[in-house]
Chains A and B, each alone.
Chain A
Amino acid sequence: MNKTVNPNDLKPADDVGPLYAARKKVYPQSVSGTFRRIKWTLMAICLGVYYLLPFVRWNRGLGAPSQAVLIDLPNSRFYFFFIELWPQEVYYFTGLLIVAAVALFLMNSIGGRIWCGYLCPQTVWTDLFYAVERLIEGDRRERMKKDASTDPMKLERISEIVLKHSIWLMIAWWTGGAWVLYFNDAPTLVKELVTFQAPMIAYIWIGILTTTTYLLAGYMREQVCTYMCPWPRIQAALTDEWALNVTYRYDRGEKRTSVKKAAELRALGQQVGDCVDCYQCVAVCPTGIDIRNGPQMECIQCGLCIDACDNVMTKIGRPKRLIGYDNDINIHRRQEGKAPIYRIVRARTIVYSAIIAAVGGFMVYTLATRSLLDVNVLHDRNPVAVKLSDGSIRNAYTVRLLNKSGYDRAIAIDVEGPVNPKMHVVGVDSVTPDRPIIVIPRDSTSELRLLVTAPAENNPEKSIPVRFHVMDIGLGVAASATDNFVAP
């Protein structure tokens, strides 16, 4: 295929090439079939979830937000149905990101760029914008003709353009609008937004997301995937020979010829390829590439070329899936007359699944067993220990009690370490001096200054470990923290 060219025969000098290239506009043609139906369905689900989720309610009791999914930035809380997370529990998000990344790897090792082709917001919104464009301006050929036309624009054409951009902007505006609803009580914010009572920051964010949606889905489109997104590069490095990718089965397709000629040659008993060079796969491609050139970085593997080719194959009476999810191994096996083999379960997919199961399982376990009462203790650093006039030694601690539950708690504090310690919480006159009891309001933290004194006769010689036990005296829920009791 590659033949050597004598450099002297090549055109010289001005063929250095441009420093930059203009975008070649893509005009994807409409197509119907299995993968198009899958894409419509997934688009409906993804957009439906995104736009409607903020309106789903969840009862958390009086005084707590009733929105199922809410990122409450002012109060530093994240609500997801029955889960409420505090900022210090951000590791759940880390876990979520690990699971998401490995799930992406798993998808990639099973079916190539499933994420890119079906689920990525860039794909979903671009697909939606193309649908609007097609509805208003017509299919591929009409749009190409209209764009190429040099005639002065008529009112009809102008109104088409205005209508298209208006609908695009409306979708983009709704996208930004839905975004801000995740950060505030949705029904209240909608009311405020329409009466122009909402905070400026809400309008600013809607503006930002309207702009990005409009630009990315209306103009940048496949260029986001080609130039901006790191995933095509990463996935190219992660894929292996068993991964199924949208593939042109050149073993079946080559040599390309016309329908008529193919029929004639077949009649003579000759080997002919099924590809009739109809360019339908190119016409429907949202990234404007030719899948028959083999795996390409630009290909988002949306499967629309499979639909396009299947339709043609059906028409000319040849078997479907000249383009399909496949890999080079099977192409070679078929060329050698062997049956194709598919290895979904292999070391790579098992390891990825195991990581997902392990991280996911660990997250669910810790989430299910996490305590809604917690205590952190920080020893005073300056001074670490104070000698009192009777010779006893006092250490001071900053104790932070966390009550993550939806009700107030009465907490008793016990200390274990020094013999017969005396305890005092600054600012609290407890009725039980040896066991201070503090009330922590629902869903909040309390920071206390706790003084622990070891009587002179029990002075520790050196630093000894000390353990603080806190217990909800009503429910018996307990938590503890360790630190040191330091002798001067």
Chain B
Amino acid sequence: MTDHSSDIDSVSGKSTTGHEWDGIKELNTPLPRWWVICFYLTIVWSIGYWIVYPAWPLISSNTTGMFGYSSRADVAVELANLEKIRGDKMAALGAASLADIEKDPALLALARAKGKTVFGDNCAPCHGSGAAGAKGYPNLNDDDWLWGGTLDQIMQTIQFGARSGHAKTHEGQMLAFGKDGVLKGDEIVTVANYVRSLSGLSTRNGFDGAKGQKIFAENCAACHGDAGKGNPEMGAPNLTDKIWLYGSDEASLIETISQGRAGVMPAWEGRLDPATIKAMAVYVHSLGGGK
């Protein structure tokens, strides 16, 4: 213990704490008693807290407290309550037709909110969190739709997918004209340039338009149509617009024609409940490109 015997302030006659700075000593001004009592009470309180609530970490778990309180259980209860509250609204969503959902502001807001969440969980890995797509994965914000952009068509695509193996899935794929030996190398180059010309893109020197048109008519028009406008029934894209899933440069087109394309969209029926799929369809439709 420090000897405080000389720690008396000569001016005030009060004792000091013994701490000195540049010759100035701090007077010992006692705390109020109630303050000290409150301080000790908080310590006592904390002991009670250790006993009542989970507090001490053990090797693989922790003390559970007197009543087995768990914040995780609290969250589970709250989530269950939330689901219950949402249940009614989701039921209303499930009962309404797609067109009616878009006309009812409350249902539209719910469908968009729900759709956005579910989209983030299930669709974003391929289509991107903002549904902007990537090469081979369609942008869902634009007005170009492989399988149709009406509410019902979007819903059908989500439900059954494309080339998903589901019994009702969209079928039809871009054949590998080069790999399968249907077209020869120079024919592929010619038809690729012809396809570019359909949407007003430049063609290579010496490109024979008539020959390209002939190859196109014989091989491609069955799915893409005589004018190359595509066909949503087959998932055949419109070749006359400005949107290209796999790229519009000659090399990409040659690759597409030689190797074929068959992107897969999984079927969500059975994995998501019908009301959720409806919400998704409305959400995707509302992104801006829906027809």
Name B34's closest neighbour in chain A (CB-CB).
A23
Are B144 and A388 within 8 A (Cβ)? yes
Are B11 and A2 within 8 A (Cβ)? yes
Are B242 and A5 within 8 A (Cβ)? no
> Which residues of chain B are within 8 angstroms of A382 by Cβ–Cβ distance?
128-130, 132
Q: How far is the CA of A380 from the CA of B289 in the complex (A)?
A: 15
Q: By DSSP majority rule, is chain B's interface helix, strand, loop, or mixed?
A: loop
B80 at the interface (CB under 8 A from A): no
Q: How far is the CA of A281 from the CA of B286 in the complex (A)?
A: 78
Name A18's closest neighbour in chain B (CB-CB).
B30
- 18 sample A-B contacts, Cβ–Cβ < 8 Å, listed by A number: A7-B6, A12-B6, A13-B4, A16-B4, A16-B28, A18-B30, A19-B36, A21-B31, A21-B32, A227-B32, A227-B35, A381-B130, A383-B128, A386-B142, A386-B289, A388-B243, A390-B242, A451-B288
Are A20 and B31 within 8 A (Cβ)? yes
Are A449 and B286 within 8 A (Cβ)? yes
B267-282 Cβ-contact flags toward A at 8 Å (1 or 0): 0000000000000000
Name B36's closest neighbour in chain A (CB-CB).
A20
Q: How far is the CA of A10 from the CA of B16 in the complex (A)?
A: 13
Are B15 and A23 within 8 A (Cβ)? no
Are A19 and B144 within 8 A (Cβ)? no
Q: How far is the CB of A395 from chain B (nearest CB, A)?
A: 10
A-B pairs with the 9 shortest C-beta distances? A382-B130, A389-B241, A383-B132, A12-B5, A21-B30, A391-B242, A5-B10, A17-B15, A20-B36
> Which residues of chain B are within 8 angstroms of A383 by Cβ–Cβ distance?
128, 130-132, 139, 141
Name B128's closest neighbour in chain A (CB-CB).
A382
Name B290's closest neighbour in chain A (CB-CB).
A426
Are A19 and B288 within 8 A (Cβ)? no
Q: How far is the CB of B148 from chain A (nearest CB, A)?
A: 13
B108 at the interface (CB under 8 A from A): yes
Q: How far is the CA of A16 from the CA of B27 in the complex (A)?
A: 10
Q: How far is the CA of A16 from the CA of B131 in the complex (A)?
A: 75
Please give the residue numbers on chain B whose beta carbons come within 8 Å of chain A beta carbons, in ascending order. Answer: 4-8, 10-11, 13-15, 28, 30-36, 102-103, 105, 108, 128-132, 139, 141-144, 238, 241-243, 286-289
> Which residues of chain A are within 8 angstroms of B30 by Cβ–Cβ distance?
17-21
Q: How far is the CB of B201 from chain A (nearest CB, A)?
A: 11
Q: How far is the CA of A359 from the CA of B286 in the complex (A)?
A: 46
Q: By DSSP majority rule, is chain A's interface helix, strand, loop, or mixed?
A: loop
A427 at the interface (CB under 8 A from B): yes
Name B107's closest neighbour in chain A (CB-CB).
A427
Give the residue of A223, A386, A396 whose beta carbon is less than 8 angstroms from that of B32.
Answer: A223
Q: How far is the CA of A363 from the CA of B119 in the complex (A)?
A: 45
Give the residue of A19, A387, A394, A396 whose beta carbon is less than 8 angstroms from that of B243.
Answer: A387
Are A16 and B7 within 8 A (Cβ)? yes
Are A15 and B31 within 8 A (Cβ)? no
Q: How far is the CA of A13 from the CA of B35 in the complex (A)?
A: 26
Number of residues of chain A lying within 8 A (CB) of chain B: 38
Q: How far is the CB of A381 from chain B (nearest CB, A)?
A: 7
> Beyond the given A2-B11, A23-B34, could you list 4 further A-B residue pairs with CB under 8 A, ordered by the A residue number?
A13-B5, A20-B33, A22-B33, A388-B143
> Which residues of chain A are within 8 angstroms of B241 by Cβ–Cβ distance?
389-391
Q: How far is the CB of B42 from chain A (nearest CB, A)?
A: 15
Q: How far is the CA of A313 from the CA of B131 in the complex (A)?
A: 88
> Which residues of chain A are within 8 angstroms of B8 by Cβ–Cβ distance?
5, 7, 10-11, 15
Most chain A beta-carbon contacts within 10 A, residue among B13, B28, B143, B238: B143
A14-52 Cβ-contact flags toward B at 8 Å (1 or 0): 011111111100000000000000000000000000000
> Which residues of chain A are within 8 angstroms of B28 by Cβ–Cβ distance?
16-17
> Which residues of chain A are within 8 angstroms of B142 by Cβ–Cβ distance?
386-389, 394
Q: How far is the CA of A21 from the CA of B139 in the complex (A)?
A: 75
A150 at the interface (CB under 8 A from B): no
> Which residues of chain A are within 8 angstroms of B143 by Cβ–Cβ distance?
388-389
Given that A17-B15, A20-B33, A21-B31 are contacting pairs, would A386 and B4 also be in contact in the complex, using a CB cutoff of 8 Å? no
Are A388 and B289 within 8 A (Cβ)? yes
> Which residues of chain A are within 8 angstroms of B32 by Cβ–Cβ distance?
20-23, 223, 227
> Which residues of chain A are within 8 angstroms of B242 by Cβ–Cβ distance?
387-391, 456
> Which residues of chain B are within 8 angstroms of A451 by Cβ–Cβ distance?
288
Q: How far is the CA of A141 from the CA of B44 in the complex (A)?
A: 39
> Which residues of chain A are within 8 angstroms of B33 by Cβ–Cβ distance?
20-23
Are B132 and A389 within 8 A (Cβ)? no
A360-395 Cβ-contact flags toward B at 8 Å (1 or 0): 000000000000000000001111001111110010
Q: How far is the CB of A9 from chain B (nearest CB, A)?
A: 10
Q: How far is the CA of A7 from the CA of B9 in the complex (A)?
A: 8
Q: How far is the CA of A335 from the CA of B4 in the complex (A)?
A: 43
A4 at the interface (CB under 8 A from B): yes
> Which residues of chain A are within 8 angstroms of B141 by Cβ–Cβ distance?
383, 386, 394, 396
Q: How far is the CA of A15 from the CA of B30 in the complex (A)?
A: 13
Q: How far is the CA of A449 from the CA of B287 in the complex (A)?
A: 9
Are A5 and B13 within 8 A (Cβ)? yes
Q: How far is the CB of A217 from chain B (nearest CB, A)?
A: 15
Are A427 and B108 within 8 A (Cβ)? yes
Q: How far is the CA of A26 from the CA of B98 in the complex (A)?
A: 76
Q: How far is the CB of B232 from chain A (nearest CB, A)?
A: 13
Q: How far is the CA of A2 from the CA of B15 in the complex (A)?
A: 16
> Which residues of chain B are within 8 angstroms of A380 by Cβ–Cβ distance?
130
Name B282's closest neighbour in chain A (CB-CB).
A427
Q: How far is the CB of A410 from chain B (nearest CB, A)?
A: 16
Q: How far is the CB of A146 from chain B (nearest CB, A)?
A: 22
Q: How far is the CA of A389 from the CA of B146 in the complex (A)?
A: 12
Are B10 and A4 within 8 A (Cβ)? yes
> Which residues of chain B are within 8 angstroms of A386 by Cβ–Cβ distance?
132, 139, 141-142, 288-289
